[in-house]
Amino acid sequence: MIIRTAHGPVEGTTSEGVSSFKGIPFAAPPVGPLRFRPPSPPEPWAAVRPATHYGPAAVQPRDVLLEGMFGQPAFPTDEASCLTLNIWTQGPHGPVRPVMVWLHGGAFLTGSGRDSVFDGSRLARHHDVVVVTLNYRLGALGFLYLKDLLGSQYAESGNVGLLDQVAALDWVRDNIAAFGGDPANVTLFGQSAGAMSVASLMTMPSAAGLFQKAIAQSGSAEYAHTTERATDVTRQMLAALSIPEEAAGALLDVPAVDLLNAQQGVSEAMRTRGDGLGLPFAPVVDGSVLPRVPLEAIRNGAGARIPLLLGTNLEEGRLFLIGPGAPTMDEDSLSALFDAAYPDPIAAREAFQVTGQDASPSGLFAALIGEQMFRAPAARLAEAHASITPDVWLYLFTWRSSARNGDLGACHSLELPFIFDNLDQPGVHKFTGLEPPAELAHTMSCAWAAFARGGSPHPDWNRFDADAHWAMTFDEDSRPVADPLRPVRRL
């Protein structure tokens, strides 16, 4: 099938009633003078462009944990040709379809829209939606703040990764109708750093009107760098590259592999110091692209007309306790953490155990990670948005994986193959265990698509309110529950 876009014709492939178009450029190569600068439109083309293979991912380090978990090779990467998107659709004919635009996670360091877990074929086939996945610049190339060292022409450098997402949404607005999608009914959904991006875009002036609904999975609206902190990270990068501050312009010419190596060194040093929540590169509150910390902006009315579906997994932190370099935890270390986190640490530990968390030191450490980094921020975002709109739905994913002898539990990212109904993708069983419940994948993918179609995910799913804290719990027996983690939330 050939579709004509605003920049030129593209030809995809069709299988079982779904046409896919992969590797379509939505921006010019972000290299040379465009490095660290906002994306520019791609050059048009006249001949039909094959859109049959994914484009390379953004420059990034290898994700050894996920490679080992899924048994997949590292993504091919390229700085020049990474800004591409992928589309799945039943075609341009018939009534226009809801559009679901996916933002991948990966701590703003790794990830790609080409990940096989994010294949949109089943969502498009079973739910008659148009699915879009995309790449955006990561790490230093996407979030290195240079204004204080290189001047106002780099005022937006700390958020060019977010601006890549905006450029993709601009492309969707201008082109998706040709693929059968409705540009006036776009749902932006993302997980982890992708969910943080969703929250950011809800408050960004440049993204206003580009999407009508939002889904934030296991993310936060609270974490963004100040310009001072972002500049400090930039100085650390310069030191790692042996570049004097007065010669910071040399960053424009540093090979991408050298930037990546320096970025890895800075990231590792910050992790060793316990600095930055593992996010050395993140959105920057620059007063322009991102005017305020997203949660503050939402509390003051930003994104008020955008219905929001959000939630977390019961045992988010368990993912971070496996693989090389994973922290270990003994009783003394755990006690010190709880002493620092809560005025009554004994009551806090009891609250976690009452909600079904593993009572071992490593289990409670994982619970503390999940609470502080994901669940509590999600609850605060739900409360903030619900104060200005009634259209908020909260979920809690509680199904536990049997993989790795059950060590993963209901961990971070486990919901992803269920959302996309891709339980049979290569390597997924290493994450979910054998024979994960297909009915749960059907339930969740239906809910996400229903939300995209009409704004209400399920007839039994109560809207969130600050008093009852209703949440849909997703498991083999999915059902709405009032305040499912109340003992922990009350802490």
Work out whether the CA dihedral 232, 234, 235, 241 comes out positive or negative: positive
- The pTM score is 0.96
Topology of domain 2-298 in CATH is Rossmann fold (3.40.50)
For 267-287, what is the mean pLDDT?
A: 83
Please tell me the predicted confidence (pLDDT) of residue 398: 95
Closest listed residue to residue 338, CA positions, set 312, 313, 363, 319: 363
Report for 36-40, 279-283, 408-412: range of highest mean pLDDT: 36-40
pLDDT band per the 50, 70, 90 thresholds, residue 356:
confident
Please tell me the predicted confidence (pLDDT) of residue 14: 96
pLDDT band per the 50, 70, 90 thresholds, residue 428:
very high
pLDDT band per the 50, 70, 90 thresholds, residue 277:
low
For 16-32, what is the mean pLDDT?
A: 97
List, in order, residues 6 or more apart from 43 with CB less than 8 Å away: 7, 28
d(CA 155, CA 149) in angstroms, rounded, equals 10
Residue 283: pLDDT over 90: yes
Contact present, 452 and 129 (Cβ < 8 Å): yes
Q: Start-end ranges of CATH 3.40.50.1820 in the chain?
A: 2-298
Please tell me the predicted confidence (pLDDT) of residue 167: 98
Which residues belong to the active site? 192, 316, 412
Please tell me the predicted confidence (pLDDT) of residue 276: 60
Please tell me the predicted confidence (pLDDT) of residue 94: 85
